[in-house]
Chain A
Amino acid sequence: MASGRSNFSIRHQPGFTTVAVLCFALLYLPIVTLVVFAFNAGRSVAIWEGFSLRWFEAAWNNERVIEASIRSVQIASVAAVVATIAATMAALATTRTRPYRGLTFKYAFINQPLMIPEIVTAVALLIVFARIKVATGYSGLGYLIVAHTAFCIPFAYLPIRARLESMDLTLETAAADLYATPWKVFTRVTLPLLWPGIIAGLMLAFVISLDDVVITEFVKSGGQDTLPTYMLGQLRRLVTPEMNAISTVFLLISILIVTVFFFISRRST
């Protein structure tokens, strides 16, 4: 009797493992197909005609792709750095304190970009920036950088705040007791301890900015394509594996950053 039930697992549910495995497979099937056909010798994205790097070469020699990539990195770098600095300051101001008036207001304010659908923010920025462009005559990358910085702040804020909340004030108090100036306490104690959170926030913000399509599509002026908006424009035509090649490189960079992020945040918890 007892031996009959020895295989009985209370955790088992029939069919769940099958669905889960199917899910993992389906989640990766399109991505793997995309990457595989980037190396196709033919023009098809479904029929394999042999291995070739010609589409990577084509992408590399495509001036518009390179230009858009550089612009993407420029915007993401500036936006991520500014957003991370602002988010770090905001996190210091909203953690490790007794609740004070306006604290909830600050939380809501900082997380607001996450709550509004992107398309709504996009048209809102279109309206406002169109006016400013006419009024000032300036139509540079500044608009895109400001827009990206704003929606990067909540993403940078999350890991920094989480890190701060796991640090208590003992070490800072000890340093202050030993006559360290507030600035010294910050640079010698708080900042080194907070560093993993800041790096995680910076990387998250960078990836989020790099990935953005909707807001960029509405804010950009003519000739300001980033890599995602360039790709969006190309998808209307018949696509060649060149798009797969571009996507593959893009994916690789994202996965690399996310992997590093994952290990940093795992080590710090």
Chain B
Amino acid sequence: MSQTAETARKAEHDDVRKRWLLSAPALAIIFMASIGPLLVVVVYSFLTPGPYGDVKWAFSTDAWISVFLQRDIFEGTLGIADAHLQIFLRSVRLSLFTTIATLAFGFPTAYFIATRPQRTQALWLFVITIPFWTNLLIRTFAVQEVIRNEGILNTALVGLGIISAPIQILYTDWAIAIGMIYVYLPLMVLPLYASMEKLDFRLVEAGYDLYATRFRVLTRIIVPLVKPGIVAGSILVFIPSLGAYVTPRVLGGGKQMMLGNLIELQFGAGRNWPLGAALALTLTVIVMVALLFYVRYAAQSERRHG
């Protein structure tokens, strides 16, 4: 009796060991080219910048201090790092704006797809996802061509006599916002659709039976029921927006920086690798907090709805 229990335990032990061996290659590769380097970034953020980039092996917390504060060269006092703060705030502002705009466009679109006949829903979803799986750079480039001064938008507006001279959109915050909305819209539509697809329209019908207006049905029944989708979509759009690098680089033209570009600058012309490392970790922490918030929310709503 105890011998069978013993064999069973040994079998289970062997099984777990086999499963560790099987997953070892994937874990090793990710450790080598993702998690490991991230740990090195933590170390680098506590070192001193070298004269030609790279670092000197001397401990220093200067990088972390200068993420938020800057030393006044004349008085030697510490103040808020205005330049960083400005870029930081712009990143948050643009990301929030992108999230709200994609929600405003994505909500009706997801609703439209979810209320199509069952057969055609997959097709509509496919139509939304195609641009998403095509190259991000190409999509950004496509937006650039449309909004540039000589692009079709300005050409058309001038041609129609609506404006007399092309409006400068490219290389402004607006350009970055338009680009990010365009690029991340599918990330909003997909989770919204996923929760709208499960929407029980008997509840909507009950609302109308009780003389609710369309607006009231929308705000009191539909929105609360698809809230998990709204939260998921918002997180999915906000996170990549905050870390965006390609879109601000191409559409902001290097003048309108976001966090991603500020980080790059420290490894290029800025020659301050520790500061770049500290900024990168700051971004990572913000993203992690947003993710953690989402995971907790998702777990909570799962428990509520079984």
Contact = CB atoms under 8 A, between A and B. Distances in A.
Nearest to A18: B108
Contacts of A66: none
Specify the main secondary structure of chain A where it touches its partner.
helix
B112 A124 contact: no
Contacts of B112: 16-17, 19-21
Nearest to A21: B112
A198 to B, nearest CB: 14
Interface stretch (B25-33, B58-66, B72-80): B25-33
Interface in B95-123: 105-106, 108-109, 111-113, 115, 122
B30 A33 contact: no
B287 A117 contact: yes
A30 B150 contact: no
Contact of A117 (B144, B204, B239): B239
B81 interface: no
Interface residues on chain B, size class: 35 or more
A11 B115 contact: yes
Contact of A113 (B34, B54, B150): B34
A37 B277 CA distance: 42
Contacts of A149: 29, 33
B146 A30 contact: yes
A254 B137 contact: no
Interface in A93-151: 93-94, 97, 100-102, 106, 109-110, 112-113, 115-128, 130, 146-147, 149-151
A157 interface: yes
Given A115-B288, A153-B26, A153-B29, A19 B280 contact: no
B163 to A, nearest CB: 15
Nearest to B110: A20
Nearest to A28: B131
B280 A33 contact: no
Contacts of A10: 201, 204-205, 208
Nearest to B246: A213
Contacts of A82: 29
Interface string B28-47: 01111111111011001000
Interface in A207-255: 207, 210-211, 213-214, 218, 228, 231-232, 235, 239, 243-244, 247, 250-251, 254-255
A82 B106 CA distance: 36
Nearest to A228: B137
B144 to A, nearest CB: 7
Interface stretch (A44-52, A53-61, A164-172, A189-197): A44-52
Interface residues of A, number: 91
A32 B242 CA distance: 28
B68 interface: no
A27 interface: yes
Nearest to B28: A86
Nearest to B288: A115
A13 B26 contact: no
B38 A121 contact: yes
A78 to B, nearest CB: 12
B85 interface: no
Nearest to A101: B16
A264 interface: no
B4 interface: no
A120 B280 contact: yes
A123 B108 CA distance: 38
A86 B146 contact: no
Interface in B241-299: 242-243, 245-246, 249-250, 259-260, 263-264, 267, 273, 276-277, 280-281, 283-284, 287-288, 291
Contact of A87 (B26, B33, B263): B26
B303 interface: no
A183 to B, nearest CB: 13
B34 A30 contact: no
Contact of A20 (B44, B108, B146): B108
B2 interface: no
A218 B268 CA distance: 10
B59 to A, nearest CB: 17
B167 interface: no
B40 A255 contact: no
Given A13-B108, A150-B32, A213-B137, 9 more contacts: A20-B112, A34-B142, A47-B155, A93-B23, A110-B26, A110-B27, A110-B30, A119-B259, A123-B41
6 contacts: A19-B112, A34-B141, A106-B23, A116-B284, A117-B243, A123-B267
A-B pairs with lowest CB-CB distance, top 6: A117-B243, A20-B112, A124-B37, A30-B142, A150-B33, A93-B22
